[in-house]
C-alpha cells in the first residue's frame, strides 16, 4: 500500500469506485481507494440494479443520462460486463396531476436530448402485457431505462480506475482522519497511515461515522428498503424479449424482469429509518429481517396492477438499507469549513446517479468547478442549521414521497417552523400561508378568512392566485411591506475590504453610501452569485444575495479569503422589512426626522436612518421594480421596527405581501432570479448580467479572462422575455421553446404578471435567431402555446418610480 497520495477515497461501493475512475479519466493517477472489506460491501451489493433518467431536477436528470450512457464505455474499456439490460421503462400516470408531471418531464427531455415519449394505456399494455392498465391515463416511456449487475458494474469502475493508475486497498478499514495544519490529511488505517492531499468520503452506509471522525455532520440517514423476486413464470419466460420496467407511482412500486421471474420493489408509507444511532461497524453482507407486514398494502395493490404476481410464488425477499439526504439528492462537493475534505455520499440511486456524481466531483476537484450546475446535489445546500432531528423525519418524508408527484409550488409539511423570525406569529394572525426556504419560514401570501389557509399543489395556477393579485396591486397602487429575512447577508470588514471585493466580484465596487449590483464569476466565467454590494465605509461592506446560497457563498469566500478580511454571515442576525410602492417614501419619511427626500436619498443609496428609537440601515432598492426601501435592524428589534412602520403605513393602507407577489412583481421589470435565470450553467453575457460587469476594470478579478474571451466571441444564446398565450398554466421552468418545428431553446422561469395581466416567460434562444417580435411556441404541459418576444418592460419603462 502506498503511504502518500493526492487523493484517498474512503469506501469501495459503486460511488467511491466511480469517483476513483473519473479522477483517473480526467488525469489524476496518483489516487487510491481504501475499502474496509471487499468492494460493494455496503448498500451496493443489495441493490436491485435499476437505472432511469427521471429526476425532478433537470441537471440531476442530465447526470443520470450521463451515468446510463457511461456503462457501454466502461464495458468497452475494461472488457468486463456490467450485465446491462437496456429494456426501457414506463412510468404510469393514474391521475391528471401525475399526467401533468409526465408532460412537464417529457417537455424538459426534448432539449436534454432524452428521447422519452408519452404513451397511451393501450401502448403500455403492448409494451408490458403483464400490466393491468385499469385506471391508467397514460405514461412516460424512456428507452434508456434498464438494469444491470451491481457487483459487475462496481468492479468495472474499479478495473477502469486501476487501468488509469489508481490503487485499491481492500480489507483495510479507516480508523481516523486527522488534518495537518497545512490542510492535508493523515488517513489512519488498519494497514498504516496514508498521507493524502485530499480525502473523499464515499462511505455510503457509514458516511455519517466517517464524517464524525473529521468532526463533520453529514445530513443523511439510512432507510430499510424491500424488494421481492418471484419464481419463474410463463408470462415472462414464454416471451421472446425481455419485459420493460414499469414504475407504478400509484402503487409506490417498481417492477422489472429478473431472469425468468419478476422483481418488484416498494417505497412503502410504513417505512423504517434504519440504524438511528449509527451504522454498526460490523454490518456487512447480511440482509435485514423481512418485514412483509410493512409492504402488505403495496403488495395487494401490485396484485391488481400486475395480476401475474398472484400466481408467481415469491422466491426471495431482500431487505437492505441505503442512505438518503433530506431532499433525496446526493451530498457532493467540498464540505464547508474543512479544507480538502470532499463528500460523495447520500447517493440513493447509485446506478442512476453514480457516474454523474463521479464525473462532477472529479471535475470539481481537478478544475475547481463542475461543468454543470450541481446546486441540487451540493453538500452545502444545507446550512449549519441542519441536525439529525431535521434529517431523519425529512428522510422518512422523502422516502414516502419517492413516487409522489412533485409540484413546483408545493411546500412539504415535515420539519416546519424549523427557523422563524420574531414576525412569524404576527404574520400568521394576518392569514400568512408559509413556505420554507433553507429551513426558514417565509410568508408566501396572505389569505383572507374566507380563503383556504393552504396552497393547493399544482402545475397550474393555484388557489393563491387572487391573494397574489391583491398583494401585487397593493404594492403598485400604494405601498406593501414584507420581510427581508430571506436574503443571504454578509458583512465584509477590513482595511483591504474594497480590494478583496474587487477581486472576487466582477462588477464595480461602489463608493461609500452607494450600492452596486455585482455578478460573481467562477474561473471559467460562469455565474456563481449575484450580489447587491453596499459600501457602508471604506472598511465595511454589506453583501446581500440569495438566502439558500449561504453555505455555498461562505465556502467560496473562505476558499478565496485574504489576510485581514473578516467575513461574517449575518443573514439571520440582521433582518427587517422592505416597503415598496409609490407611497413607500411617504411611509419612511413619516417614521423619521431624517431627510429621506429623493434629493437626499437617491436610488441605490445606503445609509443609516433613525426610525424612532431605532437606528436602521436603509437601502434604496427593491426587487419589485418600484420605489422601495430595504430596512435592516438586529433581529431582536424587528417587532419594534414593524410597529413603527405599520403605525405610519396605516394612513397609506400599507398591506403585507408575500413571495408569490414578489415573484410576480419582478416579472413586470424582467428581473431574473437566482437559480432560474442566474446559475453556474449560464454566463453574464447570456443572461444580461453583462450590464453589471466591469469587464475592463484593472483588477485581475476571478473569471476575468473567461469573461473577456466571451465578450470578444459573443454569446451563442441570449435570455429573452416572452408574452405567452395560456389558459391556466404559466411557464415554470425548463419548458422547450419551439421555432419552425424545432426545439431551439428552453425557458428559465415565468409566471403571471398580475399587474400587466399577462403570462410571462424568460428563456434562452440562439442569438442568431433573435429578432424583434420573434414568435415562438412554448410547450407547456404538452400543449404548444404561442409566445411573442417582448422588449419593453411591463411596468414603468422609464424607471421613473424606481429611480425618482
Ligand atoms: C434493497 C436495495 C435496493 C436498491 N435498488 C437500487 C436500484 O435498483 N437502483 C439504484 O440505483 N440503487 C439502488 N439501491 C441503492 C444503491 O444500493 C445505493 O445508491 C448505492 O449502493 C450507494 O453506493 P455507495 O458507494 O454510496 O455506498 P455503499 O455501497 O454503502 O458503499 C460504501 C463503502 O464504504 C465502505 N466503508 C465504510 N466505512 C469505511 C471505513 N471506515 N473504511 C473503509 N471503508 C469503509 C463500506 O465497506 C462500503 O463498501 C438499492 C439499495 C437497496 C438497499
For 269-294, write each residue's pLDDT tens digit.
Answer: 999 899 999 999 989 888 899 998 99
For residue 621, give the DSSP letter: -
Q: Return the closest-CA partner of residue 532 out of 632, 407, 634.
A: 632
**Beta strand extents in 231-271 (DSSP E only):** 245-248, 253-258, 261-266
Sign of CA dihedral 55, 48, 171, 165: negative
Give percent of the chain with pLDDT exceeding 70: 100
Residue with CA nearest ligand 1 atom 21:
44
pLDDT at position 54, please?
Answer: 82
Ligand 1 centroid–CA 270 distance in Å is 22
Residue 116: is its pLDDT beyond 80?
Answer: yes
Cα distances (Å, whole numbers) of residue 568 to 70, 136, 280, 542, 557? 43, 54, 39, 10, 10
Q: Reduced to 3 states, what is the DSSP secondary structure of residue 639?
A: helix
Give the C-alpha separation, 69 to 358, whole Å. 14
pLDDT at position 112, please?
Answer: 84
pLDDT at position 712, please?
Answer: 98
Residue with CA nearest ligand 1 atom 51:
47
Q: For the chain, what is the mean pLDDT?
A: 96
Ligand 1 centroid–CA 404 distance in Å is 24
Task: Report pLDDT digits (tens) over 684-724.
Answer: 999 999 999 999 999 999 999 999 999 999 999 999 999 99
- Of the pLDDT bands very low, low, confident and very high (cuts 50, 70, 90), residue 666 is very high
Ligand 1 pocket member 50 (CB < 6 A) = yes
**Beta strand extents in 647-704 (DSSP E only):** 655-656
Ligand 1 pocket member 19 (CB < 6 A) = no
- Of the pLDDT bands very low, low, confident and very high (cuts 50, 70, 90), residue 246 is very high
Task: Report pLDDT digits (tens) over 734-768.
Answer: 999 999 999 999 999 999 999 999 999 999 999 99
Helical spans, DSSP H, in 505-598: 550-559, 584-590
Phi, psi of 5 (to 5 degrees): -160, 160
pLDDT at position 804, please?
Answer: 86
pLDDT at position 53, please?
Answer: 87
Atom of ligand 1 nearest to the CA of 227: 1
469-482: average pLDDT: 98
Ligand 1 pocket member 13 (CB < 6 A) = yes
Atom of ligand 1 nearest to the CA of 173: 42
pLDDT at position 12, please?
Answer: 98
26-31: average pLDDT: 98
Cα distances (Å, whole numbers) of residue 170 to 154, 173, 284, 322, 637? 14, 8, 14, 21, 58
Ligand 1 pocket member 44 (CB < 6 A) = yes
Phi, psi of 208 (to 5 degrees): -60, -45
Ligand 1 pocket member 477 (CB < 6 A) = no
Ligand 1 centroid–CA 348 distance in Å is 8
Distance from the Cα of residue 702 to its chain's centroid? 24
Ligand 1 centroid–CA 46 distance in Å is 8
Ligand 1 pocket member 42 (CB < 6 A) = yes
Q: How many CA atoms lie within 13 A of 285 on its CB side?
A: 8
Ligand 1 pocket member 227 (CB < 6 A) = yes
CA-based R_g, the chain, Å: 27
Task: Report pLDDT digits (tens) over 78-102.
Answer: 999 999 999 999 999 999 999 999 9
Give the C-alpha separation, 379 to 334, whole Å. 7
Ligand 1 centroid–CA 330 distance in Å is 12
Q: For residues 596 and 616, is the Cβ–Cβ distance under 8 A?
A: no
Ligand 1 pocket member 611 (CB < 6 A) = no
Q: Which residues contact 777 (CB under 8 A, 6 or more apart)?
A: 737, 738, 739, 784, 785, 786, 787
Of 284, 325, 350, the residue with max ligand 1 atoms within 8 A of its CB, to mutate for a pocket test, comes to 350
Ligand 1 pocket member 24 (CB < 6 A) = no
Of 87, 145, 204, 316, the residue with max ligand 1 atoms within 8 A of its CB, to mutate for a pocket test, comes to 204
Give the C-alpha separation, 3 to 157, whole Å. 23
Of 39, 203, 330, the residue with max ligand 1 atoms within 8 A of its CB, to mutate for a pocket test, comes to 203
For the chain, percent helix, then strand, then coil, each to nearest 5?
Answer: 30, 30, 40
Atom of ligand 1 nearest to the CA of 322: 53
Ligand 1 centroid–CA 288 distance in Å is 15
Phi, psi of 291 (to 5 degrees): -130, 70
Q: For residues 345 and 220, is the Cβ–Cβ distance under 8 A?
A: yes
Task: Report pLDDT digits (tens) over 509-548.
Answer: 999 999 999 999 999 999 999 999 999 999 999 999 999 9
Give the C-alpha separation, 564 to 500, whole Å. 10
Bridge partners, residue 520, by sequence: 529
Residue 459: is its pLDDT beyond 90?
Answer: yes
Atom of ligand 1 nearest to the CA of 205: 30
Ligand 1 centroid–CA 40 distance in Å is 7
Ligand 1 centroid–CA 30 distance in Å is 25
For residue 457, give the DSSP letter: P
Q: For residues 202 and 15, is the Cβ–Cβ distance under 8 A?
A: yes
Ligand 1 pocket member 379 (CB < 6 A) = no
Q: Label the pairing between strands 4-10 and 31-34.
A: parallel
Ligand 1 pocket member 8 (CB < 6 A) = no
Ligand 1 pocket member 536 (CB < 6 A) = no
Q: Which residues contact 76 (CB under 8 A, 6 or more apart)?
A: none
Q: Return the closest-CA partner of residue 723 out of 706, 747, 698, 699.
A: 747
Task: Report pLDDT digits (tens) over 205-242.
Answer: 999 999 999 999 999 999 999 999 999 999 999 999 99
Grid cell, residue 608, equals 443609516
Ligand 1 pocket member 330 (CB < 6 A) = no
Ligand 1 pocket member 38 (CB < 6 A) = no
Task: Report pLDDT digits (tens) over 575-628.
Answer: 999 999 999 999 999 999 999 999 999 999 999 999 999 999 999 999 999 999
Of 8, 12, 13, the residue with max ligand 1 atoms within 8 A of its CB, to mutate for a pocket test, comes to 13
Read off the pTM. Answer: 0.96
Q: For residues 436 and 416, is the Cβ–Cβ distance under 8 A?
A: yes
Q: Return the closest-CA partner of residue 333 out of 356, 372, 362.
A: 362
Residue with CA nearest ligand 1 atom 50:
47
Instruction: Count the neighbouring beta carbons within 10 Å of the beta carbon of residue 604.
Output: 17
Atom of ligand 1 nearest to the CA of 224: 53
Ligand 1 pocket member 177 (CB < 6 A) = no
Ligand 1 centroid–CA 739 distance in Å is 45
Grid cell, residue 706, equals 473567461
Residue 55: is its pLDDT beyond 90?
Answer: no
Amino acid at each position: 500500500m502506498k503511504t502518500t497520495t493526492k487523493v484517498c477515497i474512503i469506501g469501495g461501493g459503486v460511488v467511491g469506485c466511480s469517483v476513483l475512475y473519473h479522477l483517473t479519466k480526467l488525469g489524476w493517477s496518483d489516487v487510491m481507494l481504501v475499502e474496509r472489506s471487499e468492494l460493494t460491501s455496503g448498500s451496493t451489493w443489495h441493490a436491485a440494479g435499476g437505472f432511469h433518467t427521471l429526476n425532478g431536477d433537470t441537471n440531476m436528470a442530465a447526470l443520470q443520462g450521463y451515468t446510463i450512457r457511461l456503462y457501454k464505455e466502461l464495458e468497452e474499456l475494461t472488457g468486463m460486463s456490467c450485465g446491462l439490460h437496456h429494456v426501457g421503462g414506463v412510468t404510469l400516470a393514474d391521475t391528471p396531476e401525475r399526467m401533468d408531471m409526465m408532460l412537464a418531464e417529457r417537455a424538459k427531455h426534448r432539449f436534454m436530448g432524452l428521447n422519452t415519449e408519452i404513451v397511451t394505456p393501450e401502448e403500455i399494455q403492448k409494451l408490458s402485457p403483464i400490466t393491468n392498465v385499469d385506471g391508467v391515463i397514460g405514461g412516460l416511456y424512456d428507452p434508456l431505462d434498464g438494469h444491470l449487475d451491481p457487483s459487475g458494474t462496481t468492479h468495472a469502475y474499479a478495473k477502469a480506475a486501476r487501468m488509469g493508475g489508481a490503487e485499491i486497498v481492500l480489507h483495510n478499514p479507516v480508523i481516523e482522519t486527522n488534518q495537518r495544519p497545512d490542510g492535508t490529511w493523515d488517513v489512519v488505517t488498519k494497514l498504516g497511515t496514508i498521507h493524502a492531499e485530499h480525502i473523499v468520503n464515499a462511505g455510503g452506509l457509514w458516511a455519517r461515522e466517517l464524517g464524525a471522525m473529521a468532526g463533520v455532520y453529514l445530513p443523511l440517514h439510512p432507510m430499510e428498503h424491500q424488494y421481492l423476486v418471484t419464481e419463474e413464470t410463463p408470462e415472462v419466460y414464454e416471451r421472446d424479449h425481455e419485459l420493460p420496467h414499469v414504475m407504478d407511482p400509484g402503487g409506490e412500486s417498481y417492477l422489472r424482469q429478473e431472469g425468468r421471474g419478476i422483481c418488484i420493489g416498494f417505497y412503502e408509507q410504513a417505512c423504517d429509518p434504519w440504524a438511528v444511532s449509527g451504522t454498526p461497524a460490523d454490518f456487512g453482507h447480511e440482509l435485514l429481517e423481512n418485514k412483509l407486514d410493512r409492504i402488505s398494502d403495496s403488495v395487494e395493490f401490485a396484485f391488481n396492477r400486475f395480476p401475474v404476481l398472484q400466481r408467481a410464488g415469491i422466491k426471495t425477499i431482500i431487505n437492505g438499507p441505503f442512505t438518503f439526504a433530506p431532499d433525496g439528492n446526493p451530498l457532493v462537493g467540498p464540505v464547508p469549513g474543512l479544507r480538502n475534505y470532499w463528500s460523495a455520499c447520500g447517493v440513493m440511486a447509485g446506478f442512476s446517479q453514480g457516474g454523474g456524481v463521479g464525473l462532477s466531483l472529479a471535475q470539481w476537484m481537478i478544475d475547481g468547478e463542475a461543468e454543470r450546475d450541481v446546486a441540487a446535489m451540493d453538500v452545502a445546500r444545507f446550512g449549519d442549521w441542519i441536525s439529525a432531528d431535521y434529517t431523519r423525519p425529512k428522510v422518512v418524508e422523502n422516502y414516502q414521497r419517492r413516487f409522489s408527484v412533485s409540484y413546483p409550488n408545493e411546500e412539504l409539511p415535515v420539519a416546519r417552523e424549523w427557523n422563524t423570525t420574531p414576525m412569524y406569529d404576527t404574520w400568521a394572525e394576518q392569514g400568512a400561508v408559509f413556505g420554507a426556504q433553507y429551513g426558514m419560514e417565509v410568508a408566501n401570501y396572505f389569505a383572507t378568512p374566507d380563503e383556504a389557509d393552504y396552497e393547493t399543489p399544482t402545475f397550474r395556477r393555484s388557489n393563491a392566485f387572487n391573494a397574489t393579485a391583491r398583494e401585487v396591486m397593493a404594492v403598485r397602487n400604494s405601498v406593501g411591506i414584507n420581510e427581508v429575512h430571506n436574503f443571504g447577508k454578509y458583512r465584509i470588514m477590513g482595511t483591504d475590504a474594497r480590494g478583496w471585493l474587487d477581486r472576487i466580484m466582477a462588477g464595480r465596487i461602489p463608493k461609500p453610501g452607494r450600492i452596486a449590483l455585482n455578478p460573481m464569476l467562477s474561473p471559467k466565467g460562469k455565474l456563481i452569485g449575484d450580489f447587491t454590494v453596499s459600501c457602508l465605509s471604506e472598511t465595511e461592506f454589506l453583501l446581500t444575495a440569495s438566502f439558500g446560497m449561504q453555505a455555498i457563498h461562505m465556502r467560496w469566500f473562505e476558499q478565496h479569503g485574504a489576510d485581514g478580511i473578516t467575513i461574517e454571515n449575518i443573514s439571520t442576525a440582521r433582518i427587517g422589512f422592505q416597503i415598496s410602492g409609490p407611497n413607500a417614501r411617504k411611509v419612511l419619511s413619516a417614521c423619521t426626522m431624517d431627510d429621506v427626500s429623493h434629493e437626499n436619498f437617491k436610488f441605490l443609496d445606503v445609509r443609516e436612518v433613525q426610525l424612532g428609537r431605532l437606528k436602521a440601515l436603509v437601502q434604496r432598492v427593491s426587487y419589485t421594480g418600484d420605489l422601495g426601501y430595504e430596512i435592516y435592524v438586529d433581529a431582536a428589534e424587528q417587532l419594534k421596527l414593524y410597529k413603527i412602520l405599520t403605525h405610519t403605513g396605516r394612513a397609506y393602507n400599507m398591506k403585507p405581501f408575500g413571495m408569490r407577489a414578489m415573484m410576480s412583481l419582478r416579472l413586470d421589470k424582467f428581473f431574473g432570479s437566482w437559480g432560474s435565470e442566474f446559475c453556474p450553467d449560464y454566463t453574464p453575457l447570456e443572461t444580461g448580467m453583462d450590464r453589471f460587469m466591469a469587464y475592463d476594470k484593472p483588477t485581475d478579478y476571478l473569471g476575468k479572462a473567461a469573461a473577456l474571451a466571451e465578450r470578444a466571441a459573443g454569446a451563442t444564446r441570449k435570455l429573452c422575455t416572452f408574452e405567452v398565450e395560456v389558459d391556466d398554466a404559466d411557464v415554470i421552468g425548463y419548458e422547450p421553446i419551439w421555432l419552425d418545428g424545432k426545439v431551439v431553446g428552453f425557458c428559465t422561469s415565468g409566471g403571471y404578471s398580475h399587474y400587466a395581466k399577462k403570462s410571462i416567460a424568460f428563456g434562452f434562444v440562439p442569438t442568431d435567431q433573435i429578432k424583434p417580435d420573434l414568435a415562438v411556441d412554448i410547450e407547456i404541459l404538452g400543449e404548444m402555446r404561442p409566445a411573442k418576444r417582448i422588449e419593453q418592460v411591463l411596468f414603468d419603462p422609464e424607471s421613473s418610480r424606481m429611480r425618482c
